[in-house]
Amino acid sequence: MKKHSNYRVDIIPGIVIALFAVAYLALVPGIQSFTGMGSTPLTNHFVPYLWGGALLVLGLYVAVRGFRKRAAFIKAGEKIEKFDLKAAVNEKLEVIASFVALTIYVALMNVVGFVPMTIIYLVAQILILTPKHDWKKTYVPALIVAVVCSVLFYYIFRYHLNVLLPQGILSAFGF
């Protein structure tokens, strides 16, 4: 395999990250301004613009690096292979499953609540990242870690940091 034959590893993620950054930056003006104690040049838009801008620059850098690798690959006389989406998805299945799990976690957190959704998410994420042949011996430790971490995080955020987390179905039990 030639040095620049794996250029898609840069092009596709670079473009996806840049598009995500553009969408993120488009949402920043919708953040309600908070002046606090007085006037300051740094509003609550500053950090989101900083992060979004940095993400956009990095995404574009990675994509450009991929296109340069592609050009070097072609210049070396190599033949560009047809992109196989199924093979690419199978190769990155854990990453895709992690994003799907995270999306479901965020989407259902307000309805179900922080503690139950965090338990479900942590168990799912541990299983996603564990090889399938080890799943049988991973269920119980994953459930213990998920329950302990979820309850501990809820306790710390709610009672020590005074951060309200979504209660969801727990509100029916007086939490």
Question: By the 8 A CB rule, do 33 and 44 touch?
Answer: yes
Answer yes or no: pTM beyond 0.85. no
Q: Would you call 49 exposed, middle or buried from its count of C-beta atoms within 10 A (0-12, 13-18, 19+)?
A: middle
175 residues of the chain, pLDDT tens digit each: 445 557 777 888 889 999 999 999 999 888 777 666 666 667 778 889 999 999 999 999 999 998 998 888 888 877 777 766 677 777 778 888 998 999 999 999 999 999 999 999 999 999 999 988 888 888 899 999 999 999 999 999 888 888 888 888 877 776 6
- Please report the pLDDT score of residue 116 as a whole number: 93
What's the CA gap between 141 and 138, in Å, rounded?
6
- Please report the pLDDT score of residue 1 as a whole number: 43
What's the CA gap between 126 and 115, in Å, rounded?
16
SS3 128: helix
- Please report the pLDDT score of residue 162 as a whole number: 84
